[in-house]
C-alpha cells in the first residue's frame, strides 16, 4: 500500500517516516461495495481494518450501535482479547479500507508502542472497560 494513503489518519499521526512505511507494508488496500459484511459477531478474528473512504455500520446483537468513517479503525477488540468478534460490521457505502492480518497487527503493536497504546485505549472505550 502507498504510504501517502496513511496521511490524515489519527491513529498514525506523529510517526516517523520509516514507521509509516512499515505500517504501509503491512496493510493491504481493499474496495468493498455497500451492503457487504466485513466482520460477523461471534466469528474468530482474522484482521484489523482502517477505513480510508466510506462508512461502515457497527451492530451488536442485531442493533446498530454506531458508524465508523474515514480515518477510524475496527477489528482490534477481538484480536487484543483473543476472543470472538464482539460486533458485526457492514459497509453502509462503498468503502476503501486497509486490512492487516493478525500476525502483522501484533508485530505492529510490538514494534510501535505508541500505536499499541492508542489501539488499546480505543478498544477499552469501545468495549466499555
Give the residue-averaged pLDDT of 28-32: 96
**What class has domain 3-127?**
mainly beta
Q: pLDDT tens digits, residue range 90-128?
A: 999 999 999 999 999 999 999 999 999 999 888 888 776
Question: Measured between alpha carbons, how far is residue 3 from residues 15, 23, 124 in Å?
Answer: 12, 8, 28
Domain ranges of the chain: 3-127
Q: pLDDT tens digits, residue range 36-93?
A: 999 999 988 889 999 999 999 999 999 999 999 999 999 998 888 888 888 999 999 9
pLDDT confidence of 20, banded at 50, 70, 90? very high
Amino acid at each position: 500500500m502507498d504510504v501517502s494513503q496513511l496521511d490524515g489518519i489519527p491513529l498514525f499521526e506523529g510517526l516517523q517516516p520509516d514507521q509509516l512505511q512499515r505500517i504501509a507494508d503491512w496493510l493491504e488496500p481493499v474496495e468493498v461495495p455497500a451492503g457487504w459484511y466485513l466482520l460477523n459477531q461471534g466469528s474468530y478474528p482474522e484482521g484489523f481494518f482502517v477505513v480510508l473512504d466510506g462508512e461502515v455500520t457497527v451492530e451488536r446483537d442485531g442493533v446498530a450501535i454506531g458508524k465508523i468513517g474515514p480515518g477510524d479503525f475496527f477489528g482490534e477488540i477481538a484480536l487484543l482479547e483473543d476472543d470472538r468478534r464482539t460486533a458485526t460490521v457492514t459497509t453502509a457505502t462503498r468503502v476503501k479500507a486497509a486490512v492487516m492480518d493478525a500476525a502483522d497487527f501484533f508485530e505492529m503493536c510490538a514494534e510501535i508502542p505508541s500505536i499499541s497504546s492508542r489501539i488499546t485505549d480505543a478498544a477499552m472505550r469501545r468495549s466499555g472497560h
